[in-house]
Amino acid sequence: MVKEITVSIFRYDPESDKHPSYQTYSVPSKERMLVGDVLEYIHENLDGSLAYRWECRMRLCGGCTILINGKPGLICREQAEPSMTLEPLPFLPIVRDLVVDRKSLLDKIYSVPPLTRQKSPVRLPEPIAHEVILGLRVPRQCVQCLACVAVCPATEVLTADLFLPPKLIQIAGFAIDDRDTVDRVQESEESNLFDCACCHACEEVCPHEINISEKVITALRNKTYEHGIGRGGRYIKAFYDTLQAKGKVNASGILLRSQGYLRAIMKAPQGIRLIARGKFVSPFGKPIPDIEDIRTIIGPTEQEK
């Protein structure tokens, strides 16, 4: 007996439909069938009016991302499951059914031009260090499929002032290229680098398995810290200073060191409630007894890779 795949698909044509609806189809299952194959079967055999996007079919154009059982994925990569719900990516205007208008987000990503800005004229041959090339491979893998954007909690809240992982990936790529002349530290601060919540949700859905937290966010934050600029750089320095002073960290110590007395005092009403509940750790408290051990192993001389 032929096994069937039951698939419920989001249908909506903004020009003629009042509301979106879901339509269910049964598709004969084949071995190693991709979600894209299922959609193609429906389009060719059951319902020619279904709209979806699938172009390169080899995970490179980044255009075919949809929500598969609530999780973003490329239809040219993800295996079909016996029972699926397929929906368009969130955040974006719907063109029809599973097709969304990606332009607004792509424009924001490409506001960082995908070009190394070099001093002109470029002297040829152009020497590029091996490590630079290796490092560049990571950001070059990003195909702007927007899967990470769909799950990112920072993107979710910063609707007006967009936080976009793929934009930071572009910036990270140039930041490690020593031929590049743009101030990428400034650029990443302006792109809300420190609004990443370190949740790792993006990595779980990235079809190219880019380690965004380490290779992009941490790498760029490290540059910001080394330049000692901006709210982010100040915050990291305050954390490090607190740890060197006490061996442990607490919010009050970091606040005092990064935002100064004024901001710290302005937080006082919250502070008083915390004191009442035994939750307030004084920034002037004692360090841990083995503080010298901590200072020894995290001192500046220990930083070599």
Partner 1 sequence: MKYAYYPGCAAKGSTPEADFTTRLVAQTLGIELLELQNSGCCGAKEIRVVSRRLDLNLNARILSLAQGLGLDILTICNTCLLNLNQANNQLKAEPETLQKVNKSLSKIGLSYDGSTNVKHLLHVLLTDLGLDRLKQSVKTPLTGLKVAPFYGCHIVRPVKDLGFDVAKTESLEALVRTLHAHPVEYPGRTKCCGFYVLMPNEAAASGMIAHRLEEALKADADCIVTPCPLCHVALDMFQEQALGKVGIRRTIPVLHLPQLVGLALGISEKNLQFSRHLVRVNILGK
Footprint on this chain of ligand SF4 (rule: CB under 6 A): 142-148, 151-154, 165-166, 169, 196-202, 205-208, 210, 212-213, 217
Q: Is 208 in the site for ligand FES (CB under 6 A)?
A: no
Tell me the window of 56-64, 104-112, 162-170, 176-184 that interacts with ligand FES (CB under 6 A). Answer: 56-64
Q: How many of the other CB atoms lie within 10 Å of CB of 214?
A: 12
Total residues at interface with ligand FES (CB under 6 A): 12
Name which position in 33, 51, 60, 95 contacts ligand FES (CB under 6 A).
60
Verify cis geometry, omega within 30 degrees of 0, for the bond prior to 287: no
Computed on alpha carbons and rounded to an integer, the radius of gyration of the chain in Å comes to 25
Residue nearer to ligand SF4 on the CB measure, 59 or 237: 59
**17: Cα within 13 Å, side-chain hemisphere:** 13
Rounded to a whole number of angstroms, the minimum distance from the CB of residue 73 to ligand FES is 10
Q: Which residue has the tokens 């299922």?
A: 38
Partner from ligand FES, partner 1, ligand SF4, none contacting 273, C-beta within 5 to 8 A by type: partner 1
CA gap 229, 214 in Å, rounded? 20
Q: How many of the other CB atoms lie within 10 Å of CB of 199?
A: 13
As a dihedral over the C-alpha atoms of residue 98, residue 104, residue 109, residue 113, rounded to 10 degrees, the angle is 130
Q: Is 59 in the site for ligand FES (CB under 6 A)?
A: yes
Partner from ligand SF4, ligand FES, partner 1, none contacting 206, C-beta within 5 to 8 A by type: ligand SF4
CA gap 232, 29 in Å, rounded? 51
Which spans of this chain sit near ligand FES (rule: CB under 6 A)?
Answer: 54-57, 59-64, 74, 76
